[in-house]
């Protein structure tokens, strides 16, 4: 099984190495410059891919936390921890790329828009999750507390997603009932960028879980002495 798992990881990592430069080519060469927003609109392809993978990462935390409370298996706690760290990283990049895109278009670096505010709250929730992990000394107690926190904190994820539909917001609605409101080349670039970012996320998650497994083994040795 280890050989097979290693082969799958190598294939995904290899595909990531192909897709990342392909995505960059689509973003900076292939896709036309947006007529109204200009060159700065190209950051959209990074921004939306980071945003979707942020949601994916916190969904992994949510599912792994439920499985940990149900099964009591440490491997689910390790996955939840790894996904939370990556989720905070990706969410931080979302909060950085958003203002860079917004400043030339909206005229401000930050506004208390519904989606921006709920995304900032989401970031704070999972930063607190990581702080809780660092503060709780007992391994089992830490895992249980964080599992509950990861499940409760996930409430903000659907709020972030639906915020542009529930409240008045200046965020553009890309996905409409009639389809995606973009030119075909832009849609293609968006999907290529999303696929590349998602593959990168999977690679980083696998590597972080492996590191978590090694840390867990070291903790077991430490507490057995």
Question: pLDDT for 31-58, tens place per residue?
Answer: 888 888 888 888 989 999 999 999 999 9
More confident call, 130 vs 134: 130
Q: Let me know if residue 60 belongs to a domain.
A: yes
The boundaries of the domain holding residue 137 are 26-224
Span 73-97, average pLDDT = 95
Considering the entire predicted model, what is its pTM? 0.88
- Residue 6 in any domain: the answer is no
Residue 108 has pLDDT above 50, yes or no: yes
| Residue scoring higher pLDDT (112 or 66) | 66
Average pLDDT value for the chain: 87
Task: For residue range 66-80, list pLDDT tens digits in order.
Answer: 999 999 889 999 999
Radius of gyration of the chain (CA): 19
pLDDT tens for residues 153-204?
A: 999 999 998 887 777 766 666 655 445 667 888 999 999 999 999 999 999 9
Query: Does residue 39 form part of some domain?
Result: yes
**Residue 60, pLDDT score:** 97
Q: Is residue 217 part of a domain?
A: yes
Whether residue 79 lies inside any domain: the answer is yes
pLDDT of residue 107: 78
Q: What is the pLDDT of residue 1?
A: 42
E strand intervals along 102-180: 175-176, 179-180
Q: How many domains does the chain have?
A: 1
Rounded to 10°, the helix 43-71/74-106 angle is 160
pLDDT of 106: 76
Answer yes or no: are the C-beta atoms of 151 and 120 closer than 8 Å: no
> Tell me, what's the pLDDT at 166?
76
Q: Give the residue from 195, 221, 223 showing the smallest Cα distance to 22.
A: 195
66 within some domain: yes
Quote the CA–CA distance of 164 and 106 in Å, as a whole number: 16
């Amino acid at each position: 099984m280890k050989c097979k798992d290693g082969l799958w990881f190598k294939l995904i990592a290899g595909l990531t190495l192909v897709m990342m430069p392909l995505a960059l080519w689509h973003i900076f060469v292939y896709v036309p410059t947006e007529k109204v927003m200009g060159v700065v609109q190209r950051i959209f392809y990074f921004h939306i891919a980071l945003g979707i993978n942020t949601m994916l990462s916190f969904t992994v935390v949510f599912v792994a936390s439920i499985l940990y409370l149900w099964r009591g298996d440490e491997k689910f706690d390790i996955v939840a921890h790894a996904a939370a760290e990556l989720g905070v990283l990706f969410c931080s990049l979302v909060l950085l790329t958003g203002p860079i895109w917004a400043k030339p278009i909206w005229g401000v670096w930050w506004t208390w828009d519904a989606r921006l505010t709920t995304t900032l709250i989401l970031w704070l929730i999972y930063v607190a999750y990581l702080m809780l992990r660092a503060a709780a000394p007992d391994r089992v107690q830490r895992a249980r507390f964080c599992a509950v926190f990861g499940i409760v904190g996930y409430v903000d994820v659907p709020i972030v997603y639906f915020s542009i539909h529930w409240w008045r917001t200046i965020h553009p609605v890309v996905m409409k009932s009639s389809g995606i409101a973009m030119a075909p080349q832009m849609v293609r670039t968006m999907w290529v960028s999303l696929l590349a970012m998602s593959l990168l996320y999977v690679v980083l998650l696998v590597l972080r879980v492996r590191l978590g497994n090694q840390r867990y083994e070291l903790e077991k040795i430490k507490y057995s002495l």
